[in-house]
Chain A
Amino acid sequence: MVRGSATRRWLGTAGFYALAVLFMLPTAFVFYWMLTLSLKPQVEATAFPPSFVRFTVTLAGYREVFTKYPFVLYTWNSLVVATGCTLLGLVVGLPAAYSIARWRQQRLAVVILVARIIPGIAYLIPWYIFFRSLRMVDTYGALILTHLIVGLPIIIWVMISFFEDVPADLADAALIDGCSHFGVFWRIALPLVKPGVVATAILSFVFSWNNFLFSVILAGRSTRTLPIAVYTMISYEEINWGTLAAAATLITLPVLLVALLAQRHIVTGLTFGAVKQ
């Protein structure tokens, strides 16, 4: 029966990989298609039947995107806003998450969530009035503050789970030794949840990066972020699929790179959060 079980195992492995490919193919294909469309001239991008592998490669779409829009500036702006939002979110979010986890402040968790639940469109007009009266329209400050609505709840909610896993005995022992609450948080809890911090920081960065609704209104020409660019492309007379795909690729590329470089952190982070010590 040794042979039989070997065959079965081989079949099992083949079946597993067949399933794996089946599951992951759509994911890969959409990105592949985005990339190939972006490299095709217009006439081939809308050709039917479409060409999958052999097509004329052109950078015309990318050239058009770069000449029509200040892409470098937009990228820089997105970077500043997403980084600022993430850092600020961590500075205020980590102590809050720690506090919610340690002192079981579930109501507070819900309050933080409220910010995220309010429909984004409802913010637009009041925020504009608010930030204009502070002379903050078209500043990074306003964008960073508003993007906190997206980043902060994620940071807090994910970090609660991480802090819950920090053994209470450890904290109590330190307190008895004369350590302050901040000391416990800073020297004992935080090092233990470092993978979580990295993971949530990345998530917060990505969600801030992808947000476009707020910056249409609150950003001006000098602080406009990247997703607006793709939005600007979908408009009058823009039927050039090659150019659209090029813009889509360019906007997605930076976050994809971040995710690729940091994917181990994201995943180990998530794993750590679930592991009971």
Chain B
Amino acid sequence: MTARPLTRRRFLQAMTAGAAAGPFVFTPARAQGFNWKRFQGKELFLLLTKHPFIDVLEKNIPEFESLSGMKVKWETLPEIQARQKLTVEMTANSGGIDAFFTSLHVEKKRFWKAGWYHPLNKFLDDKTLTSPDFDWNDFTPGARAGVTQPDGSISALAAFVDANVVFYRKDLFAAKSASPPKTLADLEPLVQKLHAPPATYGIVLRGLKNANATQYPSILFPMGGTYLKDGKAALDSKEQVAALELYTKLLRQYAPPGVVNFNWYECSASFMQSQVAIYMDGVNFASQFEDAAKSKVVGKVGYAVLPSGPGGHFSPIYITGMAVSTQSRSKEAAYLFAQWATNKANMVRELMAGVGVGRTSTWDSADVKAKPKMPADWYQAYQASLKIGRQGLPEIVGVTEYRDIIGVAIQKGIEGAPAAQVLAQAQKEFQDLLNRTES
């Protein structure tokens, strides 16, 4: 948080645009201290995304309304529709949205380049705007890095921090006296041992294009692969080939039929229907596994950190946050909401509901320890994963295009095409994309 190299012209533009559009910077603030009621009587409009984090948050919004004396209106849409709505509003420069929930792993650089995020650095430094107990340094380093742009501007306050972990069926493992995979080398023999179709399939991972791109790094990172090397596309490296070979081979040989079009919900459904022995995905899906109304495997699921590999030990993490729109006419008031939504008390509530958050203090919270919703190994696996967390997707403008490119390569791999060949094609398209968008 010290040096902020102002190298990029766009950043300067962003700052000037922000300053020009923000008359409230000059609101007479009675400088002495922080006051939740400072913007009493204002009305905020939020664009939220259907998400476990938001499910918990929404219930408490009335509490924020009485705390701040503001009126909050909001709309919760599925991620794709929310992005569509945001795009239309921003394109029309409507100023109708004050704060929005943002999937930083997809939108971070794109929205930053488009100037949609209002930089929060000044607000965070301003003692009249940031509550003394907010404690920015309580966020894990990964969470802080995840919301910070290359030029040092902070685009959002980290809310939900997802990590990929291993879900496994304790009962099936016990029957074969197996233990969770420690290394990538263990993985395939283990999956093979547990594979007994059609009753039990060895493993399930997302196959659907775009969706699979967030699971692929669970194999790619430990294999030693990266997305970029010296700013150039690196999809055809030998580590990539090895990773894609393993990922697609596992799905081709040991996964339920049709896995090539499985998104997380098909994966989760087959796991909860007791059809699969191992499943690797975002840690937050676990709360459904332990819900008897939805799941046949309650109490039978073990949680473990991902296997390591020749390239090291990593867990891909994905961060979503609460951002303030540059077009908002009440940026400071919107910031109050973002701040409240990600404060310690709310984050404890989230964690207690089984939603992962990137605040260190929540781990020691007495409430969480007294009434754990999830089994102990869930908390352990999640915490251990955050420690080895690495941003799961390339930090580029065209994340969605990248996800489609690698996603198609993975799907072709699952359907039998050679890894080297599909990656060569993907490499070409990815470099094309970088040339078009990263200049």
Contact = CB atoms under 8 A, between A and B. Distances in A.
Given A46-B269, A235-B79, A239-B288, A217 B88 contact: yes
B84 interface: yes
Given A43-B293, A43-B294, A237-B288, A125 B88 contact: yes
Nearest to B94: A132
A255 B285 CA distance: 36
A273 interface: no
B73 A132 contact: no
A159 B333 CA distance: 55
Contact of A237 (B52, B85, B296): B52
Interface in A23-47: 41-43, 46-47
B117 to A, nearest CB: 21
Nearest to B287: A237
A236 B52 contact: yes
A43 B81 CA distance: 29
Contacts of A236: 49-52, 78-79
Contacts of A234: 78
Nearest to A43: B296
A48 B272 CA distance: 12
Contact of B91 (A47, A48, A125, A231): A125
Interface in B135-183: none
B438 interface: no
B186 interface: no
Contacts of B88: 124-125, 128, 217
A33 B306 CA distance: 40
Nearest to B84: A216
B94 to A, nearest CB: 6
A128 B92 contact: yes
Given A128-B88, A132-B94, A216-B84, A231 B78 contact: yes
A229 to B, nearest CB: 11
A11 B94 CA distance: 69
Given A216-B84, A235-B50, A46 B79 contact: no
Given A124-B88, A125-B88, A220 B78 contact: no
Given A239-B294, A240-B294, A217 B85 contact: yes
Contacts of B424: none
Contacts of B94: 128, 132
A225 to B, nearest CB: 13
A231 B296 contact: no
A179 interface: no
**A43, A48, A234, A235: residue with the most chain B Cβ atoms closer than 10 Å:** A235
A177 interface: no
A173 interface: no
Interface string A108-148: 00000000000000001100110010000000000000000
A221 interface: yes
A239 B269 contact: yes
A239 B266 CA distance: 8
Interface residues of A, number: 25
B92 A132 contact: yes
A169 interface: no
A46 B273 contact: yes
Given A125-B92, A239-B268, A216 B85 contact: yes
Interface string A230-249: 01101111111000000000
A42 B294 contact: yes
A60 B94 CA distance: 40
B75 interface: yes
Contacts of A235: 50, 78-79
B77 interface: yes
A48 B273 contact: yes
A132 B49 CA distance: 23
A50 to B, nearest CB: 12
Interface string B70-106: 0001011111010011011101101000000000000
Contacts of A124: 84, 88
B265 interface: yes
Contacts of A42: 293-294
A125 B94 CA distance: 12
Contacts of A216: 77, 81, 84-85
Nearest to A48: B273
Contacts of A128: 88-89, 91-92, 94
Nearest to A234: B78
B273 A232 contact: no
B77 A232 contact: yes
A222 B78 CA distance: 18
A221 B81 CA distance: 14
B50 A232 contact: yes
B273 A47 contact: yes
Interface in B258-278: 265, 268-269, 272-273
Contacts of B268: 239
Contacts of B273: 46-48
6 contacts: A43-B296, A48-B273, A128-B92, A221-B73, A232-B81, A236-B52
Given A124-B88, A216-B84, A239-B288, 10 more contacts: A46-B269, A128-B91, A129-B92, A132-B92, A232-B78, A235-B78, A236-B49, A236-B79, A237-B50, A239-B269
Top 3 nearest A-B pairs by Cβ distance?
A: A235-B78, A235-B50, A239-B265
